[in-house]
Chains A and B, each alone.
Chain A
Amino acid sequence: MSDDPTGSEASARAEIEDLLTQLSDADTQLTAPPTDLWNRIEQATTGDAVNSDDSVDRIGAQVAEADLPAGVISLDQRRRPKALAFLAAAAAIVAVVGFAISVTGSDPAAQQLAEANLVYDPVAFDPLGADAAATALLIDEDGLLTVQIDYASLPAAGDADLEVWLIEPDSDGNPADLVSLGIFNPDDPSALTVPANYDPDIYYVVDISIEPHDGDPTHSGRSILRGALTSI
């Protein structure tokens, strides 16, 4: 918020006054949702009420980061592919079609769909990742897809962040598109939510990169680990 509450309030008031002058009937007439929609929502959230376990709460925190207006990954900052100046470390990627489903031991609602062994490419990747080692799990939490990073070793990023991405490779194994799953904090290794409409069957390469605090929302090109999800 502004250090000048009065100025901030005045600005907010002016914006509301402007919006009021533009209201139309379209802004006031609401359409009732389809009758089956509540059932779908209820089904997707069953068992996730007040008695839900800690793992759900951890994932919830990540949903907030990805989705909320004031979250870490604001839409204005949503990282977009620019030059995609990756080398073809994903050339050995194996396509995953139709993830198998297994049930995790700790949370009956969570289903591990796929796993990726993330590896360092000494030719293409940032030297900071030379000793890094981690795996990524794709998990279905009542319809909410998340990626969980389990790591044996990750570098201290210094004045930078570690960021996790899902990449869609082209037929040559080069990145065709990618989406950020968010900042990964090794000290608080929460699961990262896969944004809607990013099908892990298509975006099936997990990448961890070093991202300097430079205001540039695109991938830095400084990958440290990468691997393809394969069904469990």
Chain B
Amino acid sequence: MHPVLTLTRHSALDLSLYNFKVPQPEQDIVDAEAAFVRGEDTALKSAYDDHGALIYTLCRRSVPDDRAADVTQEVFVNAWKARHQFDPQKGRLAAWLVGIAKNRIIDNIRSEQRHESRRSDKPATELPVDCEIERTADKMLVAQALACLPDRQRQMIKLAYIDGFTHSEIADKTNSPLGTVKSDIRRGIDRIRIDLGGER
């Protein structure tokens, strides 16, 4: 069991607030994703249970509340109909769903901009929403992947990148060899990269 960590430098990001389910074992995730591709009866419900809050929250952060549920519905319906296109070898289901969500959100915003323009008889103003939504989505995916890492890797990464400690300081605080700190961080970052669609 790793030592208890005491954080003092910065206001700490509280990953315990991350109200995801307890991270699933790797094989469970692989099995669930394979069932989704096969279109098994309960697979969509499982995907919704696992990722519905992520998609809905992303939608709520991007479009008004009264449209967030509609966009979330579109994401899951479209994903289910396109499930054969999902390749688990190219990233996790969460990342694939978020990719669909980004497109649906941007379409929704642009459509509303055009409708608003017609109502007000003014030229449509194209807001630079793409990058902002992309950034929000990517941060939420990284946060999710971080929350799913093994405890020690997650805490090491949190200390390094969120709380701003050096590797040496982390080694001191956790009473861990410097090499362990570096390897945990590297492996954790690689795990996040693969979850987000990077090559294995």
Q: Could you list which residues of chain A lie within 8 angstroms of chain B, going by C-beta atoms?
A: 1, 5, 8-9, 12-13, 15-17, 19-34, 37-38, 40-42, 44-45, 48-50, 52, 56-57, 59-61, 63-64, 66-71, 75-76, 78, 141-144, 177, 193, 195-198
A16 and B80 contacting across the interface, CB-CB below 8 Å: no
Partner among A12, A20, A38, A50 whose Cβ is within 8 Å of the Cβ of B161:
A20
Given contacts A33-B56, A63-B81, A177-B114, contact A40 B73 (CB under 8 A): yes
Q: How far is the CA of A24 from the CA of B18 in the complex (A)?
A: 11
Give Cα distance in the complex from A44 to B72, angstroms: 13
Chain A residues closer than 8 Å to B130, beta-carbon distance: 75-76
Interface string of B10-42 (1 = CB under 8 A from A): 000111011110000000000000000011110
Interface size on B, residues (CB 8 A): 68
* A residues near B60, Cβ cutoff 8 Å: 31
Would B18 and A49 count as touching, CB distance under 8 A?
no
Contact B107 A196 (CB under 8 A): yes
The reply to whether B161 and A142 form a contact with Cβ atoms under 8 Å apart is no
B189 proximity list for chain A (CB < 8 A): 13, 16-17
CA distance A45 to B45 in the complex (A): 11
Contact call B13/A24, Cβ cutoff below 8 A: yes
B104 partner, pick from A59, A67, A143, beta carbons under 8 A? A67
Nearest CB in chain B: distance from A126 CB, A: 27
Smallest beta-carbon distance A156→chain B, Å:
28
CA distance A196 to B70 in the complex (A): 10
Complex contact B78–A75 (CB within 8 A): no
- Interface presence of B178 (CB below 8 A): no
A74 to B142 CA separation, bound complex (whole angstroms): 22
Contacts of B77 in A (CB 8 A): 41, 44-45, 142-144
Kindly state the separation between the CA atoms of A70 and B54 in the bound complex, as whole angstroms: 21
Contact of A19 with B138 at beta-carbon distance under 8 Å, contacts A12-B193, A27-B143, A67-B104 already known: yes
B39 touches A9 (CB 8 A): no
Flag B78-90 by CB within 8 Å of A: 1 or 0 each. 1011111100000
User: Which B residues are CB-close (under 8 A) to A70?
Assistant: 99
Partner of A52, one of B39, B76, B162, B198: B39
Give the interface SS of chain B, mostly helix, strand, loop or mixed.
helix
Q: Is the CB of A63 within 8 A of B82?
A: yes
Instruction: Pick from A5, A20, A41: contact of B48, CB below 8 A.
Output: A41
Decide if B20 touches A75 in the complex (CB within 8 Å): no
Name the B residues within 8 Å of A15 (CB-CB): 138
Do B73 and A60 touch across chains, with their CB atoms under 8 A apart?
A: no
Residues of chain B from 44 to 69 with CB closer than 8 A to chain A in the complex: 44-45, 48, 52-54, 56-57, 60-61, 69
Question: Does chain A have a CB within 8 A of B148?
Answer: no
Chain B residue contacts of A56, Cβ below 8 A: 81
Cα A48 to Cα B2 with chains together (Å): 47
B39 and A33 contact, CB distance less than 8 A: no
- Closest Cβ neighbor of B141 among chain A residues: A19
What are the interface flags for B154-187 relative to A under an 8 Å C-beta threshold, 1 for contact and 0 otherwise? Answer: 0001000110000000000000000000000000
Contact between B81 and A48 (Cβ–Cβ < 8 Å)?
A: yes
9 interchain pairs (CB within 8 A)? A20-B157, A22-B139, A23-B139, A28-B14, A40-B73, A41-B48, A50-B38, A64-B82, A69-B99
Instruction: Report A-chain residues with C-beta under 8 Å of the C-beta of B39.
Output: 48-50, 52
Give CA–CA (A57, B82) in the complex, Å.
7
**Nearest CB on B from A176, distance (A):** 8
With both chains docked as a complex, state the minimum distance between the C-beta of B109 and any C-beta of chain A, in angstroms: 9
B190 an interface residue at 8 Å Cβ cutoff? yes
B102 touches A75 (CB 8 A): yes
Q: Is the CB of A67 within 8 A of B69?
A: no
* Inter-subunit contact B17/A38 (CB<8 Å): no
Contact status A68-B107, CB under 8 Å:
no
Please tell me if the beta carbons of A30 and B18 are within 8 angstroms of each other in the complex: yes
- Tell me the bound Cα distance from A64 to B83 in angstroms: 8
- CB of B83 within 8 A of CB of A60, answer yes
